[in-house]
Amino acid sequence: MTVNGESRSATIEDRGLLVDPVRSELHLTGTHVGCRNGDRGACTVRVDGWIAKSCLVRTPAVDGPGITTFEGMAPDGRLGDVQQAFWDADTFQCGLCFVIEDLLESTPDPS
């Protein structure tokens, strides 16, 4: 699979969830396990451009598609503008930065 623009491989279980190899094998710990039922959003990633909660996505479903994690939102190791704004406001990461980036991409100057 392609993760954050790089070809990566991981051992997966047939019925495994994407959040597990992302954290345990790829060591991308910005993707958190919060609830394992999709309520919190701490496990949010982007799969082929779509926002997805990785605790609900079966790993075999992403064999090939591009995955972007929170680390991939800041490829140079620095927080992006939206992530920095969350950090500066002492807010917790719950996947909203993906949603806000989508909004700003489609509507650069929202009201």
Look at residue 111 and tell me if it is in a domain: no
User: Has this prediction a pTM greater than 0.75?
Assistant: yes
Look at residue 71 and tell me if it is in a domain: yes
pLDDT digits (tens, 9 = 90+) for 2-32: 999 999 888 888 888 999 999 999 999 989 8
**Number of domains into which the chain is organized:** 1
pLDDT the model gives residue 93:
65
CATH classification of the domain holding 49: 3.10.20.30
Return the exposure string of 48-59: e unless at least 16 CB atoms fall within 10 Å of the residue's CB, then b. Answer: eeebbbbbebeb
The residue segments making up the domain with residue 49 are: 2-106
Look at residue 51 and tell me if it is in a domain: yes
pLDDT digits (tens, 9 = 90+) for 31-87: 988 888 888 888 999 998 899 999 999 887 777 778 999 899 887 888 888 888 888
Look at residue 26 and tell me if it is in a domain: yes
